[in-house]
Amino acid sequence: MELRVLRYVIAVAEEEHFGRAAQRVHVAQSALSQQVARLEAELGVRLFERTTRRVAVTDAGRTFVDHARGVVAGADRAAAEMRAVAEGRAGVVSVGFVGSATYDVLPRLAREVRAQLPDVELRLRGELLNPALVAGVLDGTVDLALVRPAAFPEPLTSEPLRTEPLVVALPATHPLAVGRGPVELADLGAETFVVHPAGELSSMNRVVLDACRDAGFTPVETIEVGETSTLAVSVAAGLGVALVPAPVRSLQLGGVVYRDLRDAPTIGLTLLSRSPDASPAVARVARVARDVVG
């Protein structure tokens, strides 16, 4: 029993005329009549009563047409959904974010994908460090990741998105929390610094300590924390100061003041994927991410 024959039966039932039904489904009337007759023989029932003036649907025909409409509608929905998946307009895409991008890019990406690709399901994972994001893209649990620049293993593909200046996060009670001009990093030489973990866990740690050395000092004490939100909370609690990418300003937290730095060091933001293995939906979300960050 083919879908096209079910469409023929539905057309005859709705038109109550073999000629008009044949025109509607773009087939010769004789071919349509033969296909319907063959189906009736296969089912062992008459679907239509034929007279010289009209075609009437039998009781069995009405029951069959109801089933046929359900089957055809289901097949049409499935075909439409598969076209949407093939074109990247539907599917599931997992996106991971390093700390600062969690507050800046994540909400804007979510809004734009919902507006442009309403049938794409986004699975968002924020506040992760580079190694966890790289591992996620490698094992397929993350489709796209916004990470800090690094030496990425094959078969990952990286694309620079932007460069972000660092700002200093200060407790609101800090003497440098007030003022208009940029802060000199050298003026923080006696401060405790709240930083991300050392080693390969975070590229931010190296960037911050290199910036301090370029300013002529090494922090007398550091406090390591994993998440950017915890870093900001530690600053608010007065445990130290921190250098963070400028988009962290989006994390509004009482007790923290962000000040620009003179000759601010910078850090990049990179889009990581498994291209060319990316699905059409992943490719579409990647394009939205580029637009949002740009």
Question: Residue 82: pLDDT above 80?
Answer: no
Distance, CA of 28 to CA of 43 (rounded, Å): 23
Is 143 within 8 Å of 278 (Cβ atoms)? yes
The pLDDT > 70 percentage for the chain reads: 97
What is the arithmetic mean of pLDDT over 267-284? 87
pLDDT digits 0-9 by tens, 205-263: 999 999 999 999 999 999 999 889 999 999 999 999 999 999 999 888 899 999 999 99
Residue 202's pLDDT is what? Answer: 74
Q: Tell me, what's the pLDDT at 17?
A: 85
pLDDT band at 84 (very low <50, low <70, confident <90, very high): low
* pLDDT tens track for 127-164: 888 889 999 999 989 999 999 998 898 889 999 999 99
Domain ranges of the chain: 3-86, 91-293
Q: How many CB atoms sit inside 10 A of residue 271's CB?
A: 20
Q: Round the average pLDDT of the chain to a whole number and report it.
A: 90
Fold assignment, 3-86: Arc Repressor Mutant, subunit A (1.10.10)
Binned at pLDDT 50, 70 and 90, residue 201 comes out as: low
Query: What pLDDT band is residue 277 in, cutting at 50, 70 and 90?
Result: low
What is the pLDDT confidence band of residue 87, given thresholds at 50, 70 and 90?
Answer: low
Rounded to 10°, the helix 59-86/3-15 angle is 130
Does residue 42 have a pLDDT over 70?
yes
Q: What pLDDT sits at residue 234? A: 97
**Is the model's pLDDT at 91 over the cut of 80?**
yes
Mean pLDDT across 58-86: 81
> Which fold is adopted by the domain 91-293?
D-Maltodextrin-Binding Protein; domain 2 (3.40.190)
pLDDT for 203: 82
- Pairing state between β 221-224 and 266-273: unpaired
Report pLDDT digits (tens) over 4-13.
Answer: 888 888 998 8
- The reported pLDDT for the residue numbered 174 is 95
- Side-chain half-sphere of 241: how many Cα atoms within 13 Å? 30
Q: Is residue 275's pLDDT more than 80? A: no
Q: Say yes or no to pLDDT of 90 above 70.
A: yes
Listed in order, strand segments (DSSP E) in 11-88 are: 48-50, 55-57
**pTM for this model (two decimals):** 0.72
On the CB side of 179, CA atoms within 13 Å amount to: 14
CA 245, CA 84: separation in Å to the nearest integer? 38
Question: How many CA within 13 A on the CB side of residue 11?
Answer: 21
Say if residues 284 and 120 touch (Cβ distance below 8 Å): yes
Q: What is the pLDDT of residue 72?
A: 83
* The pLDDT of residue 264: 95
> Can you tell me the mean pLDDT for 38-61?
87
Q: Among 183-187, 213-217, 272-276, whose mean pLDDT is lowest?
A: 272-276
**Closest by Cα among 144, 17, 8, 134 to 64:** 8
